[in-house]
Amino acid sequence: MRNHLKKLIQGHHLSFHEMKNVTLSCINNYTTESEIAALLTALQIKGETSDEIAGLVEVIRSRSLYNTTNVKNVMDNCGTGGDMSGSFNISTTSAFVIAGAGVPIAKHGNRSISSKTGSADVLETLGVSLFFTPAQVEESLDKNKIVFLFAPHVHDALRSFSKVRKDLGLPTIFNIIGPLINPVMLHSQFIGVYRKEKLEIVAQTLHKLGRKRAIVVNGANGMDEASLSGVNHLILLEDGKLKPFTLHPEEVGLPMYPNEEIQGGDAKKNAAIMKDVLQGNSSAYLDTVLLNAGLGLYAHGTASSIQQGVELANESVRSGKALACLLNLVDFSKKCTREVI
């Protein structure tokens, strides 16, 4: 480990295989917490490469028991975190809208690390289980189009890093890989990153991980979600090629709002915001979700354009299908709890 740390501190990159070996050392408890903290800090300062990200992701995913599903064309949507914006749970709310439009969503997430409320925190408050079995994941995806995969539950390999990440309380490579280590083999993905310079690296990594289609976005004013506050910078991965483009909300018929209009809070407040959005009540929160869900539907290929994606997202909400996906997942969670008891 020390040799690898010296290499990183000197500004050199680790190869794909070196990163796999470093990750295995951490997982197998051959390293100290101080060394893990030094590794995460050195990678953050140097700037992670797609090989380093892919090496870490491959090891973590390979240790999960949740990496198969018979459900086809599954996607995930997630921001990497780390933007310190204090926004509500945009991607988690958008996931139910995408699922309501008929796209299977394996929503992978965690508790709060560098934000106020993580996806696991808000969903747990709403009554969603964090501890589905592999068979239950399959059933929920098949019948309800959505399931939640709680990262620490589906990845034993994360335990070696969790305390250090919590103690640091800062963005690290794990903010980038959080959406990438979804153990389900995904067809497509929509990911937000908090730094524009990470767009191409994450898109390259998605290609290396076998995604058929994907969109990576850096939102206006540095958000890790698409924002209504101005111009968003994006990259579309399609047919193995990366296509950069920009998007202003007015191009798809949505109004502008400053990011301060979509502030969240604790899990209870964010749960209330989520239900309010899924009930179709007009607000900056709803319009932000329509933009992000629309982009997700376009990333999946269900929508042939972002404009059509926003329209499908709006229909998912207005028809009640998005809210039904949440209520059905809560009911399914209760059923699973009773089965365990």
Cβ neighbors of 59 (< 8 A, separation 6 or more) are 20, 23, 24, 27, 157
- Looking at residue 13, the DSSP 8-state letter turns out to be P
Is 90 annotated in a binding site? The answer is yes
Is 156 annotated in a binding site? The answer is no
Is 17 annotated in a binding site? The answer is no
Is 64 annotated in a binding site? The answer is no
Distance between CA 71 and CA 190 in Å, rounded? 18
Is 82 annotated in a binding site? The answer is yes
Is 108 annotated in a binding site? The answer is yes
Is 119 annotated in a binding site? The answer is yes
Is 140 annotated in a binding site? The answer is no
Is 113 annotated in a binding site? The answer is yes
Is 287 annotated in a binding site? The answer is no
Is 9 annotated in a binding site? The answer is no
Contact 228, 249 (CB under 8 A): yes
Distance between CA 75 and CA 94 in Å, rounded? 12
Is 2 annotated in a binding site? The answer is no
Nearest C-alpha neighbor of 180 from the set 210, 200, 152 = 210
Is 114 annotated in a binding site? The answer is yes
Is 110 annotated in a binding site? The answer is yes
Q: Mark 298-315 as b/e (b = at least 16 C-beta within 10 Å).
A: bbbebbeebeebbbbbbe
Is 109 annotated in a binding site? The answer is yes
Which of helix, strand or coil describes residue 335?
A: helix
Contact 175, 198 (CB under 8 A): no
Distance between CA 153 and CA 66 in Å, rounded? 10
Numbered residues of the known binding site for Mg(2+): 91, 224-225
Binding positions for anthranilate are 79, 110, 165
Pick out the residues of the known binding site: 79, 82-83, 87, 89-92, 107-115, 119, 165, 224-225
Feature table: binding site for 5-phospho-alpha-D-ribose 1-diphosphate = 79, 82-83, 87, 89-92, 107-115, 119
